[in-house]
Structures are given as C-alpha cells and as structure tokens.
Amino acid sequence: MKIFALSLAGILLLGLAGFGGYQAVQANQKFTGTELIPPRPAADFTLSSDRGDVRLSDFRGKTVLLFFGYTHCTDVCPLTLANMAQAVRNLGAGGAGIQVIFVTVDPGRDTPAVAGQYARSFSPAFIGLSGDAGAISAAARDYGIYYAKTDIQSPTVYSVSHTSDVIVIDPQGRWRLLWPGGASPAEMTRDLQLLERR
C-alpha cells in the first residue's frame, strides 16, 4: 500500500511538474512582432467613418489591428490589409474578437466613404476612417506614424510615403505589439493566438 501511495504521489508530482513546464514554455514563447514591455495605454481618437463618428475606445473588449495607409497605395497597403484579412479568417470563430481599423493618411482624396469602401473590399467587418488633416495627424503622431506626400504631379496626383507598421491593441485598450510591414498572415495568426493566452 505504501509503495502504491508513493508511486501515485510520484506520478502526480511528475504530472504537476510537466504541467508547470508546459506553462513555462507557453510563457516564454516570443511574439513575431515587437512586444511593448510594459504595454502602453492606446491613445484614443475620434475619426469619421461612412456610418458616423468612431472612437478607438468604442472597441474595448476586442483586439484592434490599427493600420495607417491610403487607398491609392499600390503595394504595402493592399498587401497588409489582405494579410490581416487572412489572419482573421485563420482564427475561425476567434476572428470575431478582432477588429481591423484602417485610417487614411490621405484625407484630401480619401473621404470617409472612400476609406470605408476600400477597407470593406478586404473584409466586410473592416472599418475605414478619415477626417480632417489635423485629427489624422494627431492620431498618427500618437502611434509614431510618419507620412508625407511624395512624387507630386498635381493637387490630385501624388503618392504618400508612410510608416507601414500595424499597431496591435489588446481588449483592455493597451498597445501590445507592433508588426512591421510585410508581416505574413501566419505570423499575425500566431501572435494573435499567443496574445489571447496572455
């Protein structure tokens, strides 16, 4: 009886040690994106969608993927939005807890209607925002986003050079991660799954 009891105790201890080891492995997993340590409060802002004003803080309780770009962009913007759409699809039912927000850095051409239509072309759940130049500039500055007009050929024909990072904000309204432009759907998916466990 004593031998059995000791063996059972040993098995339980091994099991607990194994579980603790698993938890340690989980805790030590690294994000693909750059993790902000400690997380910082996400700066709130209000901009316009084609369905009314939107505040970033309206999405507390969801993970927000915030991206600044513009609709005439031919490379990084459509690629990044397409990758985010695929990452959300990869999460299946868990994707319902993700909100992608596209903020234009080209308010002269991208009205709220144009920004909204563009964002929804990647996923019906995506939100596109615009507004006056000052409000967009303030929101971009709070997240370290740089942008400037380039290759200006006329008042309506130009490019916009801009930071291509994606800001990841957790359901508590904290800025947790920064993905560089070109992050793959697989990398995004993995980070979002890991974020959910932390």
Over the stretch 16-75, which tens digit does the pLDDT of each residue have?
344 343 333 344 579 999 999 999 999 999 999 999 999 999 999 999 999 999 999 999
Which pTM value belongs to this model?
A: 0.84
What is 32-197's CATH number?
Answer: 3.40.30.10
- For residue 182, what pLDDT is reported? 84
Backbone angles phi, psi at 97, to 5 degrees: -90, 10
The string of pLDDT tens digits covering residues 102-135 is: 999 999 999 999 999 999 999 999 999 999 999 9
What is the number of other CB atoms lying within 10 angstroms of the CB of residue 93?
6
Q: What percent of the chain has pLDDT over 90?
A: 80
Amino acid of residue 166: V
> What pLDDT shows up at residue 28?
55
Q: Are the C-beta atoms of 59 and 174 separated by less than 8 Å?
A: no
Contact call for residues 41 and 174 (beta carbons, < 8 A): yes
Distance CA(193)–CA(90), nearest Å, equals: 10
Structure tokens at 54: 């939107």
Residues 134-147 have a mean pLDDT of 96
Instruction: Report the distance separating Cα 105 and Cα 68, nearest Å.
Output: 6
Helix residue ranges per DSSP H, the chain = 2-28, 76-90, 112-120, 133-142, 185-197
What average pLDDT does this structure show over 176-185? 93
Locate 85 and state its tokens: 């759409």
Distance set, CA 21 to CA 7, 12, 14 (Å): 21, 14, 10
Q: Which two tokens stand for residue 38?
A: 């400690």
User: Do 70 and 172 meet the contact criterion of CB atoms below 8 Å apart?
Assistant: no
Residue 22 has a pLDDT of 34
pLDDT category at 181 given cuts 50, 70, 90 is confident
pLDDT greater than 90 at residue 1: no
- Look at residue 169 and tell me whether its pLDDT is greater than 60: yes
